[in-house]
Amino acid sequence: MKALKKFSHKSLLQTLFSMLVVVGVATVVLVGQSNDSASAGISVADMDRSVQPGDDFYRYANGQWLQKTVIPPDRAGVSVFAQLDDISKRRVVALIEDLVKSAPTNEGERKIADLYRSYMDEAGIEANGLKPLQAEFAAIDANKDKGALARALGAQLRADEDPLNYTNYHTANFLGLWSAPGFDDPDHYMAYLLQGGIEMPDREYYLSDSDAMRSLRDKYRAHVIAMLKLAHLSEAEVRTDRIIALEHAIAEKHWTLAEDQEVRKANNPWKQADFTTKAPGLDWAEFFKAAGLQSAKVIMVWQPSAIVGEAALVRSTPLETWKDWLTYHALEDHADALPRAFAEDHFAFFGREVTGVQQQSPRQHRAIEEVNLFLGDEVGKLYAARYFPPESKARVQAMVANIVSAFHKRIDAIPWMTADTKTQAHAKLSALYVGIGYPETWKDYSSLEIKRNDLLGNELRSELFEYHRALDRLGKTVDRREWCMTPPTVNAVNLPLQNALNFPAAILEPPFFDAKAPEVVNYGAIGSIIGHEVSHTFDSEGAAFDAAGRLRNWWTPADFQHFDAATAKLVQQYNQYRPFPDLSINGKQTLPENIADLGGLLAAYDAYRASLNGKQAPEQEGFSGDQQYFIAYAQSRHSKMRDAELRRRVMTDEHSPAEYRTDIVRNADAWYSSFAVHEGQKLYLAPEDRVRIW
C-alpha cells in the first residue's frame, strides 16, 4: 500500500502524513496536550514567560508545553496536527465500528467494513503466507529479456505521485504517473511522468556522507537481507548488494528536492515517439503499452535527466538484478499485507530506524489508515455528515472572505509592483476556488472490488482502480472543484493548476478553529493557515501559474526581479538556522513554505485588525489582542520530535521545523511593537533586513 501513500505535503503546515506514513496510524489517544480544555483562548500554562519573546519566541509561547510533553513510544513526534489526527481517527474508528456491527445499508458501507475486516484478518494473512504474491513472483521470474522487463516496469506504473499538491516527487516503483491539468493547457488532464525506484525516503539517504546516513545504510542492508531471507530466497546477501547498488545508481540520477520544486524546469512535454531517442535503454513502446498509455501522444516529463538515467540503467544493469529489485520491492511495498514477520521487519527499519518511532501502532489503527487511503471519499461522506455542522462551514467561509480581501489590499500596497502585474494578481485571487469542509461531489467507487478476506488483493485492486481513474480522464475537461483531500484529513492544500484551496473538515477543529474562542485566536491559528494557503497562490511556485492555472509568466521582468530578490533574502534567513551541528535548514528547499508562512501571518493579521472595526480586542490574562494573535500563531504550531525524525524532515520536507516556522514572526513589524522587541535580542532584525514579499 506504499505506492499510493501521500508522503508529505506541499501545503501541510505540519507534515503529519510523513510522520505516520511508514508506521501506520498513530495511537488513538490524546497525548502531550494541554490545550484541550483551554482551547477557547491562548494557553498561558503552556508558555515560558522567563524567556524573552525577542530572544526565542517559540519557547516563550511553548516552553512549558515542550517541557511537559512526552513523545509516546509509537510516535515520531507530537504536534497539534497529531492531536487533531487522533480525534479524527477516533471518529473514523467509531464510524467504521458502527458499520462492522450493523448491516451496511449500501455498497459503499459494505466496502468500508470489508476492507477493514480484511486488514484485521491477521490469522488469515498468516495462514496464506506468501501465497498472495506468488502470481507476482511467477511473473517476475518469467521475464526472459529486457523487452519483458520493460513490460513489467510499465505494468507496475501507478498514479502514485503528485509533485504540486503533495511533495511527492518519486515512488518506489520504477516510475510514477500523475494525471493532472496540463501546464500549458490547464483545462485538460494530461500525463506527467516522474522518477522512481528507491525505497528509502530520498536520494540523500543513499548519497549523503554524514555519519548518520552511513550508519543508516548499514542497517538498510541488514533489513533487505532479512526480508529476502524471510521470503526464502537463496544468496540473500549477494542479491541485497545488487539491489542496493541499483537503488544507489538510481538515486544518483534523481533530482534533489530543491530541483524538483522548480516547476519551470518540469515543463518538458515529450512526444511519446521521442522517448526512444531522448531516453535510450528502455523499450518505451513496450513500457507504454503495458502501462495502458499508448494513446497519450505527449507526456510531461518532470525530471528529464532522471528519466534518461533510469532508462539507461535498464540497459546497463543485468536482468537478474532487476528481477531481484522487483522481488524485493514487491515484498517491501506490501509488507503490511504479508505475515507478521515481514510487517515487523518493515517497521523495524522504516519505522524505528528512519523515523525513530519505538513501537508500532496497533493494527486496528493501521486498518483505519488503509480504509482512509483507499475508500477516503466513502468514509469522508459519513464523516462530514456527522461531524461538520453547516454553522462551522459558514464561519470559516466568512473568515476566508476577510483574509482574501486583506490579501487584495496587500497587493495594492506593494510599492514596487507595477499596475499590470497587480491586475493579474488580483485576477488570480478573484478566481480562487476555496473548498471548505468537504468536496462538492464524491468519488464513485462502484467499479472497485473489495473482498472481506483478501487484503493484498484489495490493495492491488485499489491501486489499479486509482490508476485507471487517472488514465481514463486524460484529455478530458478538468474539474477545478475536485478535491485532492478527504474530510477526515487534518491538512489543507493549495492546488496551483486548479487555482483552488481545500480545507478538510478535520482541520477546522479546536485549537485551530473554535466557535467558542475569541476571534483573534481563531485568526492567529486557522486564519494564518488560511492565509498560508492563499499565499501559496503567490509563492515561488504558485507565482508561476496564472488565474486559469496555466504555467505562464504574468509578471513584468522588473517585478519578477523584485520578487526574486525578496525571496532570496528569505532563503538566506533560513539557511542560517541549524537544528543540528552538521545539518542546517535548506532555505531554497523550504522557500515556498516560508513565503506562505510569512504571507499567511501578515494577511490574517490584517484581516483580524479589519474585523475589529476600530475597536480594541478584549485582553486575556493581561495579553493584548495583538499579543494573543502572535501567541496563538506560535502555539498552534507547537511540535516536539525525535532527533531521527527531525533530521529526516530537515532533509526531505519542504517545511521548516516548527520552531523556525514560528521565527517567521521576526519579519512582521507588528510583532516588534506587540512585544517591545529591540535591538540586541536574538530574533531582532533591523527594519531593512525584514523580508517583505506580499
Residues in the chain: 694
How far is CA 247 from each of CA 185, 205, 279, 321, 373, rounded to the nearest angstrom? 35, 11, 19, 11, 27
Q: Which residues bind Zn ion (CB under 5 A)?
A: 11, 593, 596
* Identity of the residue, 525 or 596, whose beta carbon is nearer to Zn ion in the bound complex: 596
User: Is residue 363 within 8 Å of 29, Cβ to Cβ?
Assistant: no
SS (H, E, C) 452-487: CCCHHHHHHHHHHHHHHHHHHCCCCECCCCCCCCCC
* Identity of the residue, 247 or 593, whose beta carbon is nearer to Zn ion in the bound complex: 593
> Measured from the CB of residue 536, what is the shortest distance to Zn ion in angstroms?
6
Q: Is 51 exposed, middle or buried (0-12, 13-18, 19+ CB in 10 A)?
A: middle
The residue whose Cβ lies closest to Zn ion is: 11
> Measured from the CB of residue 649, what is the shortest distance to Zn ion in angstroms?
14
| Cβ partners under 8 Å of residue 598, min gap 6 | 535, 570, 664, 667, 668, 691, 693, 694
How many whole angstroms separate alpha carbon 499 and alpha carbon 536? 10
Closest residue by Cα to residue 648 from 174, 284, 101, 216: 216
- Angle of CA points 178, 179, 182, to nearest 5°: 105
| Cβ partners under 8 Å of residue 262, min gap 6 | none
| Residue 582 DSSP SS3 | coil
> Measured from the CB of residue 416, what is the shortest distance to Zn ion in angstroms?
25
> Measured from the CB of residue 396, what is the shortest distance to Zn ion in angstroms?
18
* Identity of the residue, 200 or 601, whose beta carbon is nearer to Zn ion in the bound complex: 601
* Identity of the residue, 387 or 574, whose beta carbon is nearer to Zn ion in the bound complex: 574
| Residue 495 DSSP SS3 | strand
- b (16+ CB within 10 A) / e for 382-411: bbbeebbeeebbebbeebbebbbebbbebb
* Identity of the residue, 303 or 491, whose beta carbon is nearer to Zn ion in the bound complex: 491
* Identity of the residue, 11 or 303, whose beta carbon is nearer to Zn ion in the bound complex: 11
> Measured from the CB of residue 634, what is the shortest distance to Zn ion in angstroms?
17
> Measured from the CB of residue 165, what is the shortest distance to Zn ion in angstroms?
11
How many whole angstroms separate alpha carbon 237 and alpha carbon 59? 48
> Measured from the CB of residue 10, what is the shortest distance to Zn ion in angstroms?
6
* Identity of the residue, 327 or 540, whose beta carbon is nearer to Zn ion in the bound complex: 540
> Measured from the CB of residue 20, what is the shortest distance to Zn ion in angstroms?
18
How many whole angstroms separate alpha carbon 215 and alpha carbon 121? 36
* Identity of the residue, 11 or 620, whose beta carbon is nearer to Zn ion in the bound complex: 11
